[in-house]
């Protein structure tokens, strides 16, 4: 079994150094564009160049996140950016966009391609498709269990798993809530974190509203993943890489998490046990936590994985308020508190956080206290409120100072020094070998001869270099005289030569491959997805393709030749019947790709058509100008028309959740079907209501509060080259369904005058 990689985040150069010097095997970061954390500081190209050189010096790889979707207008600029990454020497590119994947595989063979978790690879079929596209690695969905991960690791594919950090409540790549609410696309690196906002849970029954009492108001906020206790089973599953989330986090966070996971991995490799004690967990909690959970790795669910009381950093308990005196509050500490620590007073109505600038004990200013009564500035609070330490100045200083303790690269030094011959010095690191021949020659000593001990002492002076000597071999004649300064100069030259070898690793130019485009028969169809049997009874009488997700209903009416599967957005079974798919695992000949496949450029469409997809529905994130540009670009690239569809009516599925909100809050059993018996909504602070509805496996969909309707634009889309259109029915009434279908058919000039 190969050693597992520790992959750490870097949102800026300081965080990069923290990861590098605390034991990362690889570091992921983003340049100025195309990364899924646009609000991180990120790297300029010059900074990235320096980071690559320094990382390679230490044998550390650099993975660049290029995991956003791009439009056709951005494609050439993105291609130029990738060429710069290739020239800089980055090791891998993490991608979501299928068009970028295609570009990399055809024109940049030197760069490893890693499928981002944004690509929504959550099943074994997704791994198989990634293999067909020659990806080197898949970052699998955070919702994957240990059992599923083990199966994935047996499929001849590198598997990367998140082990620490923030959890997205929705399946990654499948969250459209931020974009639908405020135009900030999570698939474009602009997520506004709608999941960390407050909501109310409502139930409507016969137009009567009932507010459901909930534990907390942050009903979509998950705890942070912490898998430090699962290191052994994850390694033994065969995982290639452990990923720590946190490109938005401070360098000290990176240093802390990297150091602890490094120790745990090394303990396993050395057949030792890593003690995960309270002290270790406190160190992790102090730098950032919303509460920790092993989450879906061990199939946790419900409130056990939720952080509904608060969506932000919680810190660790440090004491309680026991009273007030004038403008101060008295706190009984149950741990150590120092001046400049950060604290938060946890209050039912509103938390209050601040930095401890002044601390009093027995009326006198003090800089430190432990397990005793102190007084701090008064804030809105009451007796009994919990006091949390949210930052520890001593911990942060220690983590910052640790960056000066450079990691060392073990080397072997060999020396040959013979009478009347130059000194020959070789430094080897196991892969590279630097050899230096001195300008001077050794002479027979007339007075004091050079000793072996003195030679060793000079060669071992590697303190300010990245190297440490773990073996030295000397072949030196007796009674020789040789300049100490020349030994030092040879050592310096050899060290620099070895550093250059490690930093500047030349690659052969990438061989470019020809692109292939598959001709497609153009269809002229209206595709309608439905939720229930009442809708089917109406829609079956029109000349449309009907797509059904509900398994029972599908089995009941599947003999109708116009009925097809609408596969769930999350699916772990075989895609053995024709239908509408939403993830790469479902790609087969003659399948139709939904808008949730996130096709936003012509090259992505080409990938899907080449893989066998019959009709590609363009992403809801494309506006009309982008749709027109995509169709034209595809025609230009391929020399043929593509069989495209656009959804013209529907209610967006903002999120797909593995964890059911209703079941969590009402403490019900799985498959309770409450969401089908009553209408449940999340209500935000602007009084917008988001309907909640589970699928057959109780995975929860959060629907947008309004529908979109572009049926009037069908003729305009046809002029652009779109020949197929989609209507997604959710909660419409009978008359509304008829009006929508008939209006679309009229616009498409499809006759529906006779009964189908």
**If you ran DSSP here, which 8-state letter would residue 525 be given?**
-
Asked whether residue 37 carries a pLDDT value surpassing 80, the answer given is: no
Instruction: Read off the pLDDT of each residue in 368-397 and give the average, rounded to a whole number.
Output: 95
Token couple for 15: 């965080």
Look at residue 442 and give its three-state secondary structure: strand
Asked whether residue 402 carries a pLDDT value surpassing 80, the answer given is: no
Contact 120, 140 (CB under 8 A): no
Token couple for 5: 């990689």
CA distance 479 to 485: 18
Half-sphere exposure of 283 (CA within 13 A, CB side): 19
Token couple for 74: 């951005």
Instruction: Read off the pLDDT of each residue in 440-467 and give the average, rounded to a whole number.
Output: 92
CA 487 to chain centre: 49
Backbone angles phi, psi at 427, to 5 degrees: -120, 125
pLDDT tens column, 97-128? 999 999 999 999 999 999 999 999 999 999 99
CA 659 to chain centre: 19
Confidence of residue 464 (pLDDT cuts 50, 70, 90): confident
Element (H, E) at 632: helix 624-638
pLDDT tens column, 595-636? 999 999 999 999 999 999 999 999 999 999 999 999 999 999
Confidence of residue 296 (pLDDT cuts 50, 70, 90): very high
CB environment 246-270: b (16+ within 10 A), e (fewer): bbbbbbbbbbbbbbbbbbbbeebee
Q: Kindly tell me the sign of the dihedral angle through the C-alpha atoms of 627, 628, 629, 634.
A: positive
Instruction: Read off the pLDDT of each residue in 746-754 and give the average, rounded to a whole number.
Output: 92
Asked whether residue 667 carries a pLDDT value surpassing 90, the answer given is: no
CA distance 749 to 277: 70
CA distance 729 to 411: 66
Provide the residue ranges of all domains of the chain, joining segments of one domain with +: 5-167+222-301, 315-402, 409-503, 526-748
CA distance 720 to 646: 11
Instruction: Read off the pLDDT of each residue in 199-209 and give the average, rounded to a whole number.
Output: 91
Q: Kindly tell me the sign of the dihedral angle through the C-alpha atoms of 56, 58, 61, 62.
A: negative
Token look-up 């509904």 returns 308
Q: Which CATH class is domain 315-402?
A: mainly beta
Look at residue 162 and give its three-state secondary structure: strand
Residues forming beta bridges with residue 331, ordered by sequence position: 321, 374
Asked whether residue 441 carries a pLDDT value surpassing 60, the answer given is: yes
Contact 293, 300 (CB under 8 A): yes
Token couple for 323: 């009273």
Asked whether residue 476 carries a pLDDT value surpassing 80, the answer given is: yes
Task: Report the length, in residues, of the chain.
Answer: 756
CA distance 372 to 333: 5
Domain 5-167+222-301 CATH superfamily = Copper homeostasis (CutC) domain (3.20.20.380)
Asked whether residue 753 carries a pLDDT value surpassing 90, the answer given is: no
Asked whether residue 754 carries a pLDDT value surpassing 90, the answer given is: no
Instruction: Read off the pLDDT of each residue in 370-394 and give the average, rounded to a whole number.
Output: 95
Look at residue 249 and give its three-state secondary structure: coil
Asked whether residue 337 carries a pLDDT value surpassing 80, the answer given is: yes
Q: Helix %, strand %, coil % for the chain, to 5?
A: 30, 25, 40
Contact 692, 681 (CB under 8 A): yes
The architecture (CATH level 2) of 526-748 comes to Alpha-Beta Barrel (3.20)
pLDDT tens column, 213-268? 999 999 999 999 999 999 999 999 999 999 999 999 999 999 999 999 999 999 99
5-19, 23-37, 319-333: range with lowest mean pLDDT: 23-37
pTM of the entire predicted model: 0.94
Give the count of beta carbons closer than 10 Å to the beta carbon of residue 91: 20
Contact 57, 504 (CB under 8 A): no
Residue ranges in 27-134 assigned as alpha helix (H): 45-57, 75-88, 98-107, 124-132
Asked whether residue 756 carries a pLDDT value surpassing 70, the answer given is: no
Asked whether residue 405 carries a pLDDT value surpassing 90, the answer given is: no
Asked whether residue 69 carries a pLDDT value surpassing 80, the answer given is: yes
- At residue 39, the pLDDT reads 61
CA 225 to chain centre: 12
Contact 124, 149 (CB under 8 A): no
29-33, 716-720, 725-729: range with lowest mean pLDDT: 29-33
Asked whether residue 749 carries a pLDDT value surpassing 70, the answer given is: yes
285-294, 399-408, 742-751: range with lowest mean pLDDT: 399-408
Instruction: Read off the pLDDT of each residue in 654-678 and give the average, rounded to a whole number.
Output: 89
Confidence of residue 40 (pLDDT cuts 50, 70, 90): low
CA distance 588 to 578: 9
CA distance 371 to 375: 13
Q: Which of 659, 654, 658, 663 is nearest to 703 (CA)?
A: 654
Beta strand 592-593 with 579-581 is: parallel
Asked whether residue 36 carries a pLDDT value surpassing 60, the answer given is: no
Contact 251, 395 (CB under 8 A): no
Q: Supply the angle between the helices 45-57 and 75-88 in degrees, to the nearest 10.
A: 30
The four Cα atoms 64, 66, 67, 70 give a dihedral, to 10 degrees, of 180
- At residue 253, the pLDDT reads 97
Instruction: Read off the pLDDT of each residue in 193-221 and give the average, rounded to a whole number.
Output: 94
Across all residues in the chain, what is the average pLDDT? 94
CA distance 331 to 483: 68
Instruction: Read off the pLDDT of each residue in 261-288 and give the average, rounded to a whole number.
Output: 96
Asked if domains 315-402 and 526-748 share a fold, the reply is: no
Q: Percent of the chain beyond pLDDT 90? A: 90
Confidence of residue 38 (pLDDT cuts 50, 70, 90): low
Look at residue 449 and give its three-state secondary structure: coil
Asked whether residue 508 carries a pLDDT value surpassing 90, the answer given is: no
- Residues with Cβ within 8 Å of 206's Cβ and at least 6 positions away in sequence, in order, are none
Higher-pLDDT residue of 402 and 737 is 737
Element (H, E) at 537: helix 533-539
- At residue 118, the pLDDT reads 96
């Amino acid at each position: 079994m190969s050693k597992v990689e520790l992959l750490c985040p870097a949102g800026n150069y300081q965080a990069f150094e923290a990861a590098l010097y605390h034991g990362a095997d690889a570091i992921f970061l983003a340049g100025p564009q195309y990364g899924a954390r646009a609000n991180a500081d990120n790297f300029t190209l010059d900074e990235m160049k320096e980071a690559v050189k320094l990382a390679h010096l230490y044998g550390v790889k650099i993975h660049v996140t290029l995991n956003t979707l791009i439009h056709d207008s951005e494609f050439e600029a993105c291609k130029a950016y990738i060429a710069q990454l290739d020239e800089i020497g980055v090791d891998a590119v993490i991608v979501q966009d299928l068009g970028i994947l295609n570009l990399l595989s055809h024109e940049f063979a030197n760069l490893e391609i890693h499928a981002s978790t944004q690509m929504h690879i959550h099943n074994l079929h997704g791994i198989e498709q990634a293999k067909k596209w020659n990806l080197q690695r898949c970052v699998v969905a955070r919702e994957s269990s240990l059992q599923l991960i083990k199966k994935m690791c047996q499929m001849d594919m590198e598997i990367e798993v998140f082990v620490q950090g923030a959890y997205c409540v929705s399946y990654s790549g499948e969250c459209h809530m931020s974009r639908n609410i405020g135009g900030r696309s999570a698939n474009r690196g602009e997520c506004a974190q709608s999941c960390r906002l407050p909501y109310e849970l409502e139930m409507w029954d016969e137009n009567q509203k009932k507010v459901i009492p909930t534990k907390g108001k942050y009903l979509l906020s998950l705890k942070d993943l912490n898998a430090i206790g699962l290191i052994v089973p994850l390694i033994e599953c065969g995982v290639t890489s452990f990923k720590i989330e946190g490109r938005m986090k401070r360098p000290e966070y990176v240093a802390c998490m990297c150091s602890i996971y490094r120790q745990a991995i090394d303990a396993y490799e050395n057949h030792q046990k890593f003690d995960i004690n309270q002290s270790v967990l406190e160190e992790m909690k102090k730098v950032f936590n919303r509460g920790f959970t092993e989450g879906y790795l061990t199939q946790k669910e419900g409130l056990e994985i939720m952080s509904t009381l608060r969506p932000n950093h919680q810190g660790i308990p440090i004491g309680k308020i026991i009273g007030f005196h004038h403008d101060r509050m008295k706190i009984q500490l149950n741990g150590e508190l120092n001046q400049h620590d950060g604290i938060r007073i946890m209050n039912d109505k509103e938390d209050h956080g601040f930095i401890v600038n002044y601390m009093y004990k027995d009326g006198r200013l003090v800089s430190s206290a432990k397990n005793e009564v102190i007084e701090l500035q008064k804030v809105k609070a009451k007796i009994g409120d919990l006091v949390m330490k949210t930052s520890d100045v001593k911990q942060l200083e220690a983590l910052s100072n640790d960056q000066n303790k450079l990691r060392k690269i073990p080397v072997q030094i060999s020396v040959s020094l013979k009478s009347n011959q130059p000194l020959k010095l070789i430094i080897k690191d196991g892969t590279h070998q630097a050899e230096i021949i001195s300008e001077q020659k050794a002479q027979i000593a007339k007075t004091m001869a050079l000793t072996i001990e003195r030679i060793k002492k000079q060669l071992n002076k590697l303190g300010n270099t990245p190297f440490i000597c773990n073996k030295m071999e000397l072949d030196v004649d007796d009674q020789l005289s040789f300049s100490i300064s020349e030994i030092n100069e040879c050592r310096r030259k050899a060290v620099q030569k070895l550093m250059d070898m490690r930093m500047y690793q030349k690659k052969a130019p990438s061989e470019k491959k020809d692109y292939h485009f598959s001709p497609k028969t153009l269809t002229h169809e209206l595709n309608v997805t439905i939720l229930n049997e009442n809708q089917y009874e109406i829609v079956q009488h029109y000349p449309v393709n009907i797509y059904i997700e509900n398994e029972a209903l599908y089995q009941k009416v599947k003999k109708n030749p116009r009925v097809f599967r609408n596969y769930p957005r999350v699916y772990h079974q075989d895609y053995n019947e024709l239908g509408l798919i939403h993830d790469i695992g479902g790609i087969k000949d003659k399948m139709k790709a939904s808008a949730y496949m996130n096709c936003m450029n012509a090259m992505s469409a080409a990938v899907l058509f080449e893989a066998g997809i019959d009709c590609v529905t363009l992403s809801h994130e494309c506006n009309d100008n982008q749709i027109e540009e995509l169709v034209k670009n595809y025609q230009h690239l391929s020399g043929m028309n593509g069989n495209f569809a656009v959804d013209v009516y529907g209610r967006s599925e903002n999120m797909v959740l593995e964890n059911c909100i209703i079941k969590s809050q009402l403490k019900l059993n799985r498959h309770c079907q409450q969401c089908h018996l009553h209408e449940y909504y999340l209500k935000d602070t602007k009084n917008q209501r988001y309907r909640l509805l589970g699928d057959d496996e109780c995975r929860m969909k959060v629907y947008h509060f309004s529908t979109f309707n572009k049926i009037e634009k069908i003729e305009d889309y046809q002029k652009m080259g779109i020949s197929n259109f989609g209507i997604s029915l959710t909660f419409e009434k009978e008359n509304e369904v008829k009006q929508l279908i008939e209006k679309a058919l009229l616009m498409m000039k499809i006759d529906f005058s006779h009964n189908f």
